[in-house]
Amino acid sequence: GVSPVSPIHVYTPREVYGTVGSRVTLSCSFWSSEWISEDISITWHFQAESSRDTISIFHYAQGQPYIDDVGSFKERMEWAGNPRRRDGSIVIHSLEPTDNGTFTCDVKNPP
């Protein structure tokens, strides 16, 4: 048999503005009719305005935040979320002009 699948609804602001040198919080809240499991994972991706490539910049898995060791964010990122509160937000410090682009928050709640 096939196990039923319940969607997770993920909410992020359409646009977030920040000034060079300041910090910005990228909010990511989510809702599911299912219990939030201990195996929940949250991944943030970034696509620079001038690029077609998307890179992974942050993971939360097995109760731990992991900042990916690639790109210009690794020294400037902070985990601000709390999965028990259905929050997967991150903070980016010392904004740079090259931070302009699309950030995507992806939440998975297995099984």
pLDDT in tens, 65-95: 999 887 789 899 999 999 999 999 999 999 9
Q: Give the pLDDT confidence score for residue 5 in this predicted structure.
A: 67
Q: Enter the pTM of the model.
A: 0.89
Name residues of the chain where pLDDT drops below 50: none
Which pLDDT score is estimated for 96? 95
Distance, CA of 77 to CA of 5 (rounded, Å)? 32
Q: Which two tokens stand for residue 32?
A: 């599911």
Q: Are 77 and 58 in contact (CB under 8 A)?
A: yes
- Specify the pLDDT at position 1: 62
Q: Which domains does the chain have, with CATH numbers?
A: 18-108 (2.60.40.10)
